[in-house]
Amino acid sequence: MNTQYLFYSGKGGVGKTSMACVTAVRLADEGKRTLIVTTDPASNLADVFEQKIGHEITPISGVKNLWAMEIDPDIATSEYIDKAMAPIRAAFPPQIVQVMEEQMSGPCTAEVAAFDRFTDFLDTEKKDKQEFDTLIFDTAPTGHTIRLLELPSEWSQSIDAASEGSGQTCIGPAAAIQDAKHKYERALAMLRDTGRTVFNFVLQPEAIAIKETKRTIGELEKLDIHSFKLIVNGVIPTEAQSNQLFSARSKMQAVYLDQINREFPFTKKQMRLLSGEINGVERLRDVGRVYFDGDIEKETKVVKFKEKTAQKTEPINLPFIRELSKNGHRHTVFFAGKGGVGKTVASCISAVWLARSGYKTLLVTTDPAAHLGDVLGVTVIDHPAPIPGIKNLWAAKIDPKSAAEEYKKRILDDAKKRGRPPEAIKTMEEELDSPCTEEMAAFDQFIDLASQSEWKAVVFDTAPTGHTLRLLELPVDWSKQIDIKAFASVDTEAADDAAKQRFGKVIDMMKDPAQSTFSFVMYPESTPILEAYRASQELAGIGIHAGMVVANYIIPQEQADNAFVRSRKVMQNKYLQEISKKFNVPVVQIPLLPQEIKGLEMLTELGEKIYGKPQRHG
């Protein structure tokens, strides 16, 4: 059976999961045995299908021929370690087995394990797998997807190097994972097969989404992957354009639709902005009729119009403003949430407002698909640099690749300075020359920036939620790794203590509301709310509590003047009430505007609208 592989990728929040699910239901209804798999650690498949899914292949209720699976990084890691260590446990004493298992306890193994499970579905030589006509992959937001797809070639190199040296990698003994290397090579060959694999890029007609899609296609082309299609989502329909706000946004979209047509020589299909959200199998079928058949009636029939409902706005009493003005101590603000909800915009608005209030402010992104520069309208580099045109504001992006190079150099220079023998240096080079190092190095840089005392305010624009949680869980995961891996041939105890002290200090800062505020950004729809709530519960489990919520893309009440806009506004009002109830913290609203938010002037204006006029300090 020649299974077809369809990937749905793109910037967070553009509608990848919805479009992947709409396609899956349509193909299954046509009689094709279809499996939809997500590699996103913050998966929303279960929310869209309104049923439990999880780490097993699960039949979807109400759709014959359709199954789904959410790859769980923790379960995948446990399965992966068991498989890699089985031959070692049989051949070596328990003490050696324990050391090797500890070497595999880092978060990097979780990423590789999820990838390993994902490649099972691409592996033509896997005899025991279920047969499907179509496999649909709903991938994580693009920056992380690229890292996932780079892994086969990186791990092949890492395994080869380890085989010639110590025989050990941070994802297990090289000998035990040679089979995995061949499997990864077969997976990459399948991804390159234009007859069987298509990458569907979902994007909205906006500058950042276009830039992100172009960058990702370029990265995939470097991996010799060339089969692409585009789904341009969220196109404002004609019936919405009698409204002033949506008419202005439609004109903005027209410019970007023209750019997409000019710059992407691939098959393209548009999907209209809907008046309500996409949840449940019947709604997915209706949306499929809109998308595949152009049946607009199916969209308008599912919408229930209601009269305007009153919208309450709460007085602002925000933790970071209160704490900064109260005690003058430094304060760190984290903006987290599902991809595409507007974390970068919320971070930039807040950082500009804090800088204008007289606080020396550092704005940092930990998102691999960094867009700080696009919103600020300036270039942002790997180290803190002042932002032209605004006093008191510096910005930096954490780039995992350049962070890894610096990190490797620092560790190896330290080892050489201490006079370690050449064999020990060679072993360290092998250990550090793996994709694991990138994540450790990025975290190390995060800790460094979070520890610097020269700033009065630090604002972190974090990566999409699933990956942010992994970043925050790193100190715990890496505590065993520190002495085994990174400082293997150095003065272990001293290095271990120093690193743990730095980690501990930052984690204590995150847990203290007087020193930091965790803010969840979402737009008022069920999926981003559910994801943010789950993330807030996980953080609460490690003693970090949400301090505020930012609700983005809020339609001003006075704009609800036609049926389409009113329908969306009624939906938003319902979810704004749910946000207040669920999170029970101050809610800041960022309005939906006629154009994209970009440049210091707009950021300044929005900051005053949201937080009030800055009161100068310092």
Stretch 608-614: mean pLDDT? 86
Task: Please state, for a pLDDT cut of 90, what percent of the chain lies above it.
Answer: 33
Poorest-pLDDT segment among 130-139, 195-204, 429-438? 429-438
User: Which residue has 């969840």 as its token pair?
Assistant: 520
Give me the sign of the Cα torsion angle 499, 467, 101, 78: positive
Stretch 66-73: mean pLDDT? 88
| Residue 446: strand, helix, or coil | helix
Stretch 388-393: mean pLDDT? 93
**Two structure tokens written together for 584:** 């029970």
**Residue 155: pLDDT above 60?**
no
pLDDT band at 526 (very low <50, low <70, confident <90, very high): confident
List b or e across 24-61, with b for residues whose CB sees 16 or more CB atoms inside 10 angstroms: bbbbbbeeebbbbbbbbbbbbbbbbbebebeeeebebe
**Residue 313: pLDDT above 60?**
no
Residue 59 pLDDT: 95
Distances (CA, A) of 147 to 175, 193, 369, 551: 24, 20, 11, 30
Complete DSSP assignment for 366-392 = --SS--HHHHHTS---SS-EEPTTSTT
Residue 74 pLDDT: 77
Q: What average pLDDT does the structure give for the chain?
A: 80
Same fold across 4-285+293-300 and 330-611: yes
**Two structure tokens written together for 259:** 């750019």
Stretch 342-357: mean pLDDT? 92
Distances (CA, A) of 538 to 54, 131, 173, 341, 542: 17, 36, 32, 19, 7
Homologous superfamily in CATH for domain 4-285+293-300? P-loop containing nucleotide triphosphate hydrolases (3.40.50.300)
CATH 3.40.50.300, applies to 330-611: yes
Residue 487 pLDDT: 42
Contact 88, 131 (CB under 8 A): no
pLDDT winner (highest mean) among 441-455, 484-498, 574-588: 574-588
Residue 96 pLDDT: 66
Which residue ranges make up each domain of the chain?
Answer: 4-285+293-300, 330-611
pLDDT winner (highest mean) among 89-98, 451-460, 573-582: 573-582
d(CA 573, CA 67): 34
Complete DSSP assignment for 519-576 = EEEE-SSHHHHHHHHHHHHHHHHTT--EEEEEEEEEPPGGG--SHHHHHHHHHHHHHH
Residue 538 pLDDT: 81
Stretch 406-422: mean pLDDT? 80
**Residue 544: pLDDT above 60?**
yes
**Residue 502: pLDDT above 80?**
no
Q: Kindly report, residue by residue over 76-128, the tens digit of the pLDDT.
A: 878 877 777 776 677 767 776 676 666 666 556 666 777 778 778 877 666 55
Residue 494 pLDDT: 53
270 strand-pairing partners: 232
**Residue 267: pLDDT above 90?**
yes
Nearest to 181 by CA among 147, 223, 151, 224: 151
Angle between helices 73-91 and 107-120 in degrees, nearest 10 = 100
Contact 538, 571 (CB under 8 A): no
**Two structure tokens written together for 201:** 């890029």
Distances (CA, A) of 189 to 194, 199, 476, 615: 10, 14, 37, 59
Under DSSP, the state recorded for 238 is: G
Stretch 489-500: mean pLDDT? 53
pLDDT band at 308 (very low <50, low <70, confident <90, very high): very low
